[in-house]
Amino acid sequence: MKRGRIRKMVVAATLALSLSIGGITAVAAGYPPSDDITPVIPVFTTQPQHQAVIPGQDVVFSVAISGYPAPALQWQVSIDGGITWINIDGQTGSILRLLSVNLTQSGNLYRLVAANSAGEVVSGTANLVVSTLTNAAVPNITTQPQNSTVTTNNTVTLSVTAEISDRGTLTYQWFQNTSNRNSGGTAVQGATGRTFTPPTAQNGIMYYYAVITNTNNNVNGTATASTASNAARITVNPLVNALKPEILVAPENIEVAITARRIQAELSVTARTSDSGILSFQWYTSETGSNTGGTPIRGATGRFFTPPTDEVGITYYYVVVTNTNNDVNGRITATNSSQAVTVNVFTTPGTPENLETAVDGSNITLRWEAPAENGGSEIIGYQVSDNIVTIRIDANGEYEHTFENLFPGREYTLKVRAVNAAGAGEEAAASATTEEAEIEEEADEEEYAIYDYLTSDDYNNFPFFWIGLGTLAPLGAGTGLIIRKKLKNKKSRKNNSRTSKI
């Protein structure tokens, strides 16, 4: 081999090695160039990439290229959108480095021209954008969450309103804190909306705030920006309701008799409350005797109530006592109802019915039946009279009375009246005549007896003997104390008896 050819091969091998290190590969490693190798047109295996930076930053464009013989390289720039291209002085390697770019370079296009004996190729175009740094805009809070005080387990809602000046997207996260600060709190799981309902099961004070984040992936700076709302104080107090009033003296049942002297009935109630509330009253009528579901009585709103007593019958009444306390944070009213009581309006009973008389010598027995109407009150007895003496007898289930030792052969009008708590009712009368008696001998005076307050005109010194049953009833004004002779008569009587019905 000649010395000149050896030198040529060494130089070629050295060139191939240096170009490979610079990003250009002329021949495969380990194979020296040869005059017999066919030239290969340059090929870009890596294209230059677009770059977006801010003023003052350095920019690097780079390529990877192959070909034989090693191509000559030249970077070019276009400042008119690719219409014309200008070589960049001194930039003949596979890497283009631009130092501290400025805004005037924004929009420039860059490419690399590679040429060897096999031909010339141009790389793809890389765009340079130089712009001022833009970060995501910080949200602007227009409505802050407000302090609130609630009672246990009542609902309160916090809300926040924010806006942004760019086209980002807002997200929310609520935090709770034991102190009045809008940082350092604990994120509330799931509380990621514009509104938030904090828990109120526990009494006490807790602070809540929202962190609003704007995310904008179109900026060249920081894509997110956040701000925190004011801390809102939520105070949870225990629920306090108005207290139920206590009825100290409840209304009682009353009975009212319709008599000539009308007596007004009055119902009353006494109540109290242990809080600072005000008591009010409302009386009701009830059809069933229950203290619920009644009909309120218009105007009956005091402690005392005078029920109407114009009609006979039983009416149920009760009163609802209400405590109103506007100082509590729960229910401001509480009520208590008395038990229903009765107002029994009654009158004197009706007339006894079906009177009968039975005559046995000088005795007359009067029989009757109870009145159909008791006047609304139980019959407690009867008044019987022979027009001379009136006697009260108890209502013991026997409806008869015997007038004994009457004058023989004399007609008597016997009367009976039913009695209840209102007094005696209308009388019923029946007439009967005692039998004639035969007197065998004169009677001897034996003793005197005092029997009752009787009108002196009724007796006029006639001998009379009376056996009273029950309580004797006075005949009225103008009566005098009469002493009657009690006679022992020896009489022969007819032993027959008569019965008559009225």
Say whether both 167 and 195 belong to one domain.
Answer: yes
Q: Return the structure tokens found at 90.
A: 């001194």
Instruction: Classify residue 135: in a domain, yes or no.
Output: no
Beta-carbon contacts of residue 427 (< 8 Å; ≥ 6 apart)? 351, 383, 385, 415, 416, 417
Residues 412 and 481 in one domain: yes
pLDDT in tens, 447-482: 444 434 344 344 333 333 333 333 333 333 333 333
Residue 270 lies in a domain: yes
In a domain, 83, yes or no: yes
- The answer on 119 and 159 residing in a single domain is no
Q: Is residue 286 included in any domain, yes or no? A: yes
DSSP code of residue 477: T
- What confidence tens digit (pLDDT) does each residue in 155-208 have? 999 999 999 999 999 999 999 999 999 999 999 999 999 999 999 999 999 999
Nearest alpha carbon to residue 269 among 247, 295, 242: 247
For 207-236, b where at least 16 C-beta lie within 10 A, e where not — what string?
Answer: bbbbbbbbebeebeeeebbeebbbbbebeb
Same domain, 321 and 377: no
Number of domains, the chain: 4
Domain boundary, last residue among 93, 112, 130? 130
Q: Are residues 420 and 288 in the same domain?
A: no
Domain co-membership, 405 together with 478: yes
What pLDDT was estimated at residue 443?
46
State the residue range of the domain holding 81.
Answer: 3-130
323 and 329 Cβ atoms separated by less than 8 Å: no
pLDDT digit string, tens, across residues 385-442: 987 888 888 888 789 999 999 999 999 999 999 999 888 999 999 999 999 876 555 5
**Please, what is the average pLDDT of the chain?**
83
Question: Is 169 within the bounds of a domain?
Answer: yes
Residue 262: predicted pLDDT: 59
For 355, the token pair is 């009177």
Q: How confident is the model at residue 441, as a pLDDT?
A: 52
Sequential DSSP letters for 212-246: EEEE-TTSSS-SEEEEEPPPEEEEEE----PPPPE
Q: Are residues 126 and 161 in the same domain?
A: no
b/e burial code for range 305-327 (CB count within 10 A of at least 16 → b): bebebeebeebbbbbbbbbbbee
Which residues make beta-bridge pairs with 119?
116
